[in-house]
Amino acid sequence: MAGTTEQQRFAAPKGTYDVLPPDSGRWLAVRELLLWPARRAGYGYTEAPIFEDTALFQRGMGEATEVVSKEMYTFTDKGDRSITLRPEGTAGVVRLAIEHGLQNGQLPAKLWYAGPMFRYERPQAGRYRQFQQVGVEALGVDDPALDAEVVALGSRAFGALGLSKVELLLTSLGDPQCRPAYVARLQEFLQGLPLPDEDTRRRVALNPLRVLDDKRPEVLEMLVGAPVLTDHLCDDCRAHYDAVREYLHELGIAWKEAPTLVRGLDYYRRTAFEWQHSGLGAQSAVGGGGRYDGLSEAIGGPPLPGVGWALGMERILLALDAESTDERPVGPPVPPRCDVYVVALGAAAKKKAVVIVDALRAERLNVDMSYGDRGLKGSMKGADRSGAHTALVLGDRDLAEGVVQVKDLKSGEQRSVPLESLVEELVHR
RNA sequence: GUGGGUGUAGCUCAGCUGGCAGAGCACCGGGUUGUGAUCCCGGGUGUCGCGGGUUCAAGUCCCGUCACUCACCCCA
């Protein structure tokens, strides 16, 4: 490098990606569709900062979690504050709720959000360092019917996309009443096993539930007789879990009991769930969530129970690809970027054309025109590529007659329309 | 952090035992000076990831390096 003036060629940083047209149209349509069930259920949009005080995540998600202990983008700002790019959305939303006193208003407070999250991990299919989630949180009420609503909103969102290979996994993680006793029992069981490596043995002490989530067949074999949390729930948690399942049953939502399901974040208690897609390879979770009744207190707030989920945009898009075939694409239709395409021939016509384009856009039509000095043939090609159903051709000859040629690009039919009735004609076609 | 795979045009990729840098799609122009999608003709748009080595000669062989990717781990 010394002595050279060679320019570095930049690329998107490791684990990040760019979204651009035409794919970005699909991207927006998917996100929109995912959130409609929640919006209809009264969830309102929130926007929290992309970075927060590091301690918010440490206390909220738990120091022992993988995410906090090794995956956070943490830096010191110029005011000597420790700042972290949010690795998930819930802690920030709960902080926002506390800061604005939402617990004093009508409850539950129902909120949704969408945006990038950041985790420092080795990238892989469906796993990025900057990734997009959409999420909902329902705060202030510990009614199991609300758990069921939240779960249903997610399942309905997947249904709306047309995904059929999404499976809902459900369990209860208990609460401080019953979980400690169970954890002790589990640790006792695990300590009696010839676990294969140091990491796993350390996990027995630190985060024993996570051991149950191991995917190695030899470990799974050892775990066969392990005590299961859902067999050791206290009466309150048992009643809550039963009620959630009853509501889901009434709603006609299918789930699979997953007593070894473990969430990555410590704040969850009672209801926990995850949606998995079978066509994705290693990263099969397309969404997940649960109830987090202790989170608010953990970050210094008032008692504020809550339940919510987050869905991973990238994995959902992969799932749509996995279920799509050439004949039958799965997912929302992408709105055309253009309805009407205007082609002007000559300087005088172009002057008129830009005005027509503007007027049609004011009528809420999607309108584009041919720019640069392409010939008529090239411009018509542009019209075709734009996806427009109608092309307008305007040359000096037409200008002299006060008309525009209106061509239907599907049928190829073309007719003259007087300039003054053009807008009317196109708006009410 | 640990392993495997892959780096050639905007995209998907071919390029054999080393011998002129290629195809399809996309894009641009023309066939038609006022008509697209079809058809025909033309155009290559390139740091063969990068650096070194072997050789008369390297996209091809060797070494190094970087990037991407898949998997472990973990999760959305």
- In this predicted complex, what is the ipTM? 0.82
CATH of the domain at A128: 3.30.930.10
Q: Which two tokens stand for residue A283?
A: 């990263």
**Are A283 and A125 in contact, with CB atoms under 8 Å apart?**
yes
Q: Which one-letter amino acid corresponds to residue A55?
A: A
CATH of the domain at A361: 3.40.50.800
Q: Are residues A101 and A142 in the same domain?
A: yes
Nearest nucleotide by C1' position to the A346 CA atom: B34
Report how far Cα A233 is from the mean position of its chain's Cα atoms: 32
Nearest nucleotide by C1' position to the A287 CA atom: B76
Q: Is residue A111 part of a domain?
A: yes
The predicted pLDDT at position A3 comes to 28
Q: Are residues A78 and A149 in the same domain?
A: yes
Concatenated DSSP letters for A95-111? HHHHHTTGGGSSSSEEE
Q: Is residue A35 part of a domain?
A: yes
Among all chains, which residue has been given the structure tokens 């802690």?
A91
Point out the domain boundary residue: A323, A349, A369.
A323
Nearest CA-CA partner of A320 in A85, A30, A35: A30
**Domains: count for chain A:** 2
Protein residue nearest nucleotide B67, by CA to C1':
A14
Q: Is residue A333 part of a domain?
A: no
β-bridge mates for residue A288, sequence order: A274, A310
Q: Which two tokens stand for residue A303?
A: 């008692």
Q: Are residues A122 and A166 in the same domain?
A: yes
- Torsion, Cα of A197, A201, A206, A210 (10° steps): 70
Q: Are residues A300 and A354 in the same domain?
A: no
Mean pLDDT by 10 residues, chain A (429 residues): 44 84 87 95 96 93 82 92 94 96 96 94 88 96 96 96 93 91 89 76 80 76 85 95 97 92 82 90 88 93 96 92 80 84 91 94 93 86 90 92 92 91 87
Nearest nucleotide by C1' position to the A388 CA atom: B36
Give the list of residues 6+ apart from residue A387 with CB closer than 8 angstroms, or none: A336, A337, A338
Q: Are residues A100 and A240 in the same domain?
A: yes
Q: Is residue A388 part of a domain?
A: yes
Q: Are residues A167 and A309 in the same domain?
A: yes
The predicted pLDDT at position A9 comes to 66
Find the Å distance, CA of residue A316 to C1' of nucleotide B71.
Answer: 20
Nearest nucleotide by C1' position to the A312 CA atom: B76
Measured CA to CA, the distance from residue A289 to residue A299 in angstroms comes to: 19
Looking only at the bridges linking them, the beta strands covering A109-118 and A44-45 are parallel
- Going from the C-alpha of A10 to that of each of A13, A74, A99, A128, A343, the distances in angstroms are 9, 23, 40, 18, 37
Q: Are residues A349 and A310 in the same domain?
A: no
Q: Are residues A365 and A311 in the same domain?
A: no
Find the Å distance, CA of residue A123 to C1' of nucleotide B13.
Answer: 25
Among all chains, which residue has been given the structure tokens 């420092």?
A120
**Are A161 and A334 in contact, with CB atoms under 8 Å apart?**
no
Nearest nucleotide by C1' position to the A290 CA atom: B76
Give the list of residues 6+ apart from residue A282 with CB closer than 8 angstroms, or none: A124, A125, A126
Find the Å distance, CA of residue A372 to C1' of nucleotide B45.
Answer: 20
Q: Are residues A239 and A373 in the same domain?
A: no
Q: Is residue A47 part of a domain?
A: yes
The predicted pLDDT at position A100 comes to 96
Point out the domain boundary residue: A323, A349, A367.
A323
Protein residue nearest nucleotide B69, by CA to C1':
A124
Q: Which two tokens stand for residue A413?
A: 């039919």
Q: Which two tokens stand for residue A327?
A: 């004949």
Which nucleotides along chain B are within 7 A of a protein C-beta?
A: 1-3, 27-37, 47, 67-76
Nearest nucleotide by C1' position to the A397 CA atom: B34
The predicted pLDDT at position A429 comes to 67
The predicted pLDDT at position A8 comes to 60
How many other CB atoms are there within 10 angstroms of residue A342's CB atom? 25
Q: Is residue A6 part of a domain?
A: no
Q: Are residues A86 and A124 in the same domain?
A: yes
Find the Å distance, CA of residue A20 to C1' of nucleotide B58.
Answer: 38
Protein residue nearest nucleotide B37, by CA to C1':
A384
Find the Å distance, CA of residue A378 to C1' of nucleotide B28.
Answer: 10
Domain span at residue A344 reads 340-427
Burial of A163 (0-12, 13-18, 19+ CB in 10 A): buried
Q: Is residue A205 part of a domain?
A: no
Q: Is residue A212 part of a domain?
A: no
